[in-house]
Chains A and B, each alone.
Chain A
Amino acid sequence: KQEVTQIPAALSVPEGENLVLNCSFTDSAIYNLQWFRQDPGKGLTSLLLIQSSQREQTSGRLNASLDKSSGRSTLYIAASQPGDSATYLCAVYGGSQGNLIFGKGTKLSVKP
């Protein structure tokens, strides 16, 4: 059974700092991995999707990497801003289960 783990569960950083969020998964036979953002009281918004054949994806200040063989992904946020404060969830698709499996998320707080 696929399991997705995110570390740390919560992170607080000062504005302007670069940071890394981690995601690991137990079954490497995935088709892709996604990073989502969830704001309080709202749904999830997809940030980046990395296909299993890719190593990384970039969108603005966000860069996500994927090492399928080791079952790991990282989300790098450059020059963090207070508006980046949210919960970030990692989800994998494929493997033994044909649907999205989510981690519990990392709650990020960026202090002005």
Chain B
Amino acid sequence: DAGVIQSPRHEVTEMGQEVTLRCKPISGHDYLFWYRQTMMRGLELLIYFNNNVPIDDSGMPEDRFSAKMPNASFSTLKIQPSEPRDSAVYFCASGRGEETQYFGPGTRLLVL
């Protein structure tokens, strides 16, 4: 298996632009997680899905962030409009349960 696939790996954009991050989980995993990692706050859970349904989105910082999982093999995290403080590494992880998670390589986002 190729593991969790994220795209793009790097994204540089200007403040106010829309950013869409993509994730393909490992086949057969019914949990999908989106995390954000910064030096100041470490790794934070933004939202997670079970069987394509959002279970907990309490970590989503504000309405500018949204996530979808239209099917078992694809999820997106969208930021609109983006702000410089959104600059971070965004990780997607998948698993068969909440406690065993396999992480993707991350998307490094820089908002100028």
- Residues of A whose CB lies within 8 Å of any CB of B are 31-32, 34, 41-46, 49, 89, 93-94, 98-100, 102-105
Interface of chain A: mostly helix, strand, loop or mixed:
strand
Q: Point out the residue from B48, B100, B105 that lies within 8 Å of A43, measured CB to CB.
A: B105
A-B contact pairs, 11 of them (CB 8 A): A34-B99, A43-B91, A43-B106, A46-B102, A49-B99, A93-B99, A99-B98, A100-B98, A100-B101, A102-B43, A102-B44
> Taking the nearest CB of chain B, how far is it from the CB of A1, in angstroms?
11
In order of increasing CB-CB distance, the 10 nearest A-B pairs are A43-B103, A104-B42, A102-B43, A44-B103, A93-B99, A43-B105, A43-B104, A99-B45, A42-B105, A43-B106
Interface contact A98-B42, CB-CB below 8 Å: no
Nearest residue (CB) in B for A31 is: B99
Interface size class of B (residues with CB under 8 A): 20 to 34
Interface contact B45-A49, CB-CB below 8 Å: no
In the complex, chain A residues whose CB is within 8 Å of the CB of B45: 99-100
In the complex, chain B residues whose CB is within 8 Å of the CB of A103: 42
Contact with A along B38-50 (1 / 0, CB 8 A): 0000111100100
Within 8 A of A (CB), among B15-35: 33
- Residues of B whose CB lies within 8 Å of any CB of A are 4, 33, 42-45, 48, 56, 91, 93, 98-106, 108
> Taking the nearest CB of chain B, how far is it from the CB of A38, in angstroms?
8
Interface contact A105-B42, CB-CB below 8 Å: yes
Interface contact A93-B43, CB-CB below 8 Å: no
A105 to B104, CA, bound (A): 18
Nearest residue (CB) in A for B42 is: A104
Nearest residue (CB) in A for B38 is: A104
A99 to B100, CA, bound (A): 10
> Taking the nearest CB of chain A, how far is it from the CB of B1, in angstroms?
14
In the complex, chain A residues whose CB is within 8 Å of the CB of B104: 43
In the complex, chain A residues whose CB is within 8 Å of the CB of B102: 46
Q: Point out the residue from B42, B48, B100, B105 that lies within 8 Å of A49, measured CB to CB.
A: B100
Interface contact A100-B103, CB-CB below 8 Å: no
Nearest residue (CB) in A for B98 is: A99
In the complex, chain A residues whose CB is within 8 Å of the CB of B106: 41-43
